[in-house]
Amino acid sequence: MTDTLAIIRRRALRWALNGAASLALLYILVPMIFVVWLAFFRQEIPSFPPEGYSLKWFAAILDQRKFLDGFRLSFQVGVLATLIGLALGVPAALCVVRFEFRFRMPLASLLLMPLIVPGVVLGTAMYVFHVEVEHGLDMDVLGTFYALVAGHTVIVIPWVVRLVTASLAGVDRSTEEAAQNLGANAWVTFWRITLPAIRPGIVAGALFGFVTSFGNLEMSLFLVGPGRTTLPIVILQYLEWKIDPTIAAVSVVQILLIATVMLITDRYVKLARVV
Amino acid sequence: MARLDIDRLVKRYGDFHAVRDVSLDVADGEFVVLLGPSGCGKTTTLRMVAGFIEPTSGRVRLAGGDVTLLPPWKRNAGMVFQSYALFPHLTVAQNVAFGLEMRKLPRADIERRVEETLALVRLGGYGGRLPRQLSGGQQQRVALARALAIRPDVLLLDEPLSNLDAKLRQEVRVEIRELQRQLGLTTVMVTHDQEEALTMADRLVVMNEGSVRQVGSQRDLYERPADRFVAGFVGRSTFVEGTVEAPGRFRSDGGLSLACTGGTAGRGVLAIRPERVEITASANSGLDNSLPGTVEFVSYLGAQIDIHVRLSPSDRLIVQIANREGGFAPDVGRPVHVGWPASAGQVFNE
């Protein structure tokens, strides 16, 4: 009898847990579901119920040059910032994990800081910094492509550092010693043994860094120049005047793109294992 | 293969002496085991030979050359790690080939030698597997093959058997020892397991608190331990605290007067081997020491039985007897007599 009760209790608990998890998941997914749904509405002013469905808003994207330009700029900035972020973030993570030195912990925190600082604050700070540099060096800085890339690099680095640090913790140090024992110098050991072991972290860090850069709005607002706007800013500007489903269509394209990148990456590196 | 000379090696971390003045010569083809409890400096010593730790002072000479300041990759020492440290993303064959690639051998030679070495550790046909597809014992053999493939001047084994289960460990001990003899490998192994050390070594080095306490054969260490630590660490001993009255005569703090070997007058400790003590129902006058006592505790260990006998309020002795059919095996509370020759008790002055 008590056994039956125990089983019922356990089942009830499991149902409660699953229920709570489903609610949380739904809460996260609802906005996405609505955006995707909206993208296919026929009428110009979003209202419920839909009057019918159409693909014309997707075609509308192509008619608007600024969307394509915004997409191209965001993509270029994202790729460049990610590459530079990797070149700086991977060695930084190695230093923080592997070496004992003064200010090690403060450095580790500093590298992760851009994740915590609000985008507006970061953007303002960079704006002021760029103005000062422009004055000091007497050259164009503010609003240039390279200034934008530099800014985005700052928000890519924390992702690379975080994920590479996590995967470094799982590397058996004695495998590196074994390689050295077998005749590999420090450099060869890194390329042949350490790098393959942390590759999942590097790929995941690059991916998350790119996605963060690609979707960044607040900081970018301070860094873009005339005729040079990233996709999120184009969307924002468009929304100031119109609220037709074009924006929803753009979002759908963006979601599909990122989802595709993630799925492809997941085939080579199990993201669930590093994140 | 070649000889290894360790000369007055010291490693200090701040005020802490991890290794104090360790010297050791390992002859060509000799199997030397560094034995000691954890933290005794044996692994630090091995890692200084491999080049992973830079000594504070002292020299390491390998095959005639001074390698003290060379990085690990410039020393021809093959090491087997406690965790095996196999490269998880490389196949068994690629693991074994790694050291040969670093030595820039031609492709064909590498392939031939990988095959030979894998056959040597009975892993022929496993070259294409990944380490995680192998059992613990097989992984251990890959680690060994990887270290052997480079034809090292010295083979370094860091607790190589500690991750194997007890039964497999006994087999692998013999296997490694036979392979070492067959190839004539100069070998240094580190272990805390005295049984492992005794079965494998040509010569043992007992270490404690960073220093070498005694170097010798199994028999040397067991029959003539240099100090109290060795007497307790190699084999077992019951220690009786007391005073040496004269060489060969010891008085315990509990008031027992005992015949023994060695010692000079003064405070000391008498170490008695439990397996050298005889236990009988009545007094045995043929032995140097014969004392009455009471059985206080018995532990049945299968092949042997340990009997703890109370001799005086402050003296208790462990007697180990073989578990024989019809043998004398007293129960707790029974009065008995214990006896041992003077040679079974060795005195160390404190």
Q: Where are the alpha helices (DSSP H) in chain B?
A: 42-50, 92-102, 107-120, 136-149, 166-183, 194-200, 218-223, 228-233
Q: Are B1 and B28 in contact (CB under 8 A)?
A: yes
Q: Please indicate whether the domains covering B4-228 and B237-349 agree at the CATH topology level.
A: no
Q: What is the pLDDT of residues A243-255, one digit of tens each?
A: 777 888 888 888 8
Q: Given A174, A181, A197, which is nearest B72 (Cβ)?
A: A181
Number of folded domains that form chain A: 1
CB contact, 8 Å: B297 with chain A?
no
* Minimum distance, in Å, between the CA of residue B306 and any CA atom of chain A: 41
- Give strand pairing partners of B178: none
A-facing residues of B in 102-121 (CB < 8 A) are 102-103
- Alpha carbon dihedral B219, B221, B224, B228, in 10-degree steps, equals -160
Question: To probe the interface with A, which of B46, B80, B89 has the most A CB atoms within 10 Å?
Answer: B89
Q: Are B227 and B347 in contact (CB under 8 A)?
A: no
| Mean confidence (pLDDT) of chain A | 86
**For residue A231, pLDDT beyond 80:** yes
Token pair 């608990």 is at which residue? A13
Residue A238: the pLDDT is: 82
Crossing angle of helices A145-169 and A104-112, rounded to 10°: 120
Q: Domain B4-228 is in which class?
A: alpha beta
Residue A225 counted as domain residue? yes
* Minimum distance, in Å, between the CA of residue B213 and any CA atom of chain A: 29
* Minimum distance, in Å, between the CA of residue B55 and any CA atom of chain A: 17
Question: DSSP states of A115-173 as a string?
Answer: GTS-HHHHHHHHHHHHHHHHHHHTS--TT-HHHHHHHHHHHHHHHHHHHHHHHHHTS-H
* Minimum distance, in Å, between the CA of residue A171 and any CA atom of chain B: 10
* CB environment B301-340: b (16+ within 10 A), e (fewer): eeeebbbbbebeeebbbbbbbeeeeeeeebeeeeebbbbb
Residue A40 counted as domain residue? no
Rounded to two decimals, the ipTM of the complex is 0.85
**For residue A120, pLDDT beyond 70:** yes
**For residue A201, pLDDT beyond 90:** no
For residue A174, what is the nearest residue in chain B, using CA coordinates? B85
Q: Given A181, A184, A185, which is nearest B50 (Cβ)?
A: A181
Q: To the nearest whole percent, how much of chain A has pLDDT over 90?
A: 27
Q: To the nearest whole percent, how much of chain B has pLDDT over 90?
A: 68
Q: What is the mean pLDDT of residues A63-86?
A: 89
- Give strand pairing partners of B32: B188, B203
C-alpha B40/C-alpha A48 separation (Å) is 78
Please tell me whether the overall predicted TM-score, pTM, comes out greater than 0.90 for this model: no
CB contact, 8 Å: A178 with chain B?
yes
Beta pairing, strands B266-272 & B289-300: unpaired
CB contact, 8 Å: B54 with chain A?
no
| Mean confidence (pLDDT) of chain B | 91
CB spacing of B87 vs A178 below 8 angstroms: yes
Domain region containing A120: 57-274
* Minimum distance, in Å, between the CA of residue B23 and any CA atom of chain A: 23
Residue A149 counted as domain residue? yes
Give the closest residue to B81 by CA, choosing from B182, B184, B157.
B157
- Say which residues have a Cβ less than 8 Å from residue A164's Cβ, sequence separation at least 6: A89, A90, A93, A94, A198, A201, A202, A205
pLDDT band at A275 (very low <50, low <70, confident <90, very high): low
Residue A48: the pLDDT is: 75
**For residue A196, pLDDT beyond 70:** yes
Residue A268 counted as domain residue? yes
Residue B212: the pLDDT is: 94
CB contact, 8 Å: A121 with chain B?
no
How many contacts does A have with B, using Cβ atoms within 8 A?
60
CB contact, 8 Å: A55 with chain B?
no
CA B66 to chain CA centroid, nearest Å: 27
- Which chain A residues are closer than 8 Å to B102 by Cβ? 182-184, 188
* Minimum distance, in Å, between the CA of residue A168 and any CA atom of chain B: 14
For residue B94, what is the nearest residue in chain A, using CA coordinates? A192
CB spacing of B81 vs A185 below 8 angstroms: no
Q: Given A175, A185, A193, which is nearest B73 (Cβ)?
A: A185
- Give strand pairing partners of B322: B304
Q: What is the pLDDT of residues B232-257, one digit of tens each?
A: 888 889 999 999 988 888 999 888 89
Q: What is the pLDDT of residues B245-301, one digit of tens each?
A: 888 889 998 888 998 887 788 899 999 999 999 998 888 778 888 999 999 999 998
Residue A271: the pLDDT is: 66
Residue A30 counted as domain residue? no
How many helices and strands in chain A, by DSSP H and E?
13, 0
- Say which residues have a Cβ less than 8 Å from residue B285's Cβ, sequence separation at least 6: none
- Say which residues have a Cβ less than 8 Å from residue B29's Cβ, sequence separation at least 6: B1, B184, B185, B186
Q: What is the pLDDT of residues A127-164, one digit of tens each?
A: 898 888 888 887 777 778 888 898 899 999 999 999 89
- Which chain A residues are closer than 8 Å to B82 by Cβ? 174
- Which chain B residues are closer than 8 Å to A191 by Cβ? none
- Which chain A residues are closer than 8 Å to B110 by Cβ? none
For residue A188, what is the nearest residue in chain B, using CA coordinates? B102
Residue A258: the pLDDT is: 83
**For residue B150, pLDDT beyond 90:** yes
* Minimum distance, in Å, between the CA of residue B72 and any CA atom of chain A: 5
CATH architecture of B237-349: Beta Barrel (2.40)
Residue, of A243 and B339, whose pLDDT is higher: B339
C-alpha B160/C-alpha B178 separation (Å) is 15
Q: What is the mean pLDDT of residues B27-54?
A: 94
- Which chain A residues are closer than 8 Å to B88 by Cβ? 175, 197
Give the closest residue to A53 by CA, choosing from A39, A44, A43, A41.
A41
Q: Given A177, A188, A196, which is nearest B85 (Cβ)?
A: A177
Residue A214: the pLDDT is: 87
CB spacing of A185 vs B85 below 8 angstroms: no
**For residue A240, pLDDT beyond 90:** no
* Minimum distance, in Å, between the CA of residue B348 and any CA atom of chain A: 41
**For residue B214, pLDDT beyond 90:** yes
CB contact, 8 Å: B286 with chain A?
no
CB contact, 8 Å: B146 with chain A?
yes
- Which chain B residues are closer than 8 Å to A193 by Cβ? 87
Residue A274: the pLDDT is: 58
Domains of chain B, by residue range, sit at: 4-228, 237-349
Coil, strand or helix at A226: coil
CB contact, 8 Å: B72 with chain A?
yes
Q: What is the pLDDT of residues B91-127, one digit of tens each?
A: 999 999 999 999 999 999 999 999 999 999 999 889 9
* Minimum distance, in Å, between the CA of residue B98 and any CA atom of chain A: 7
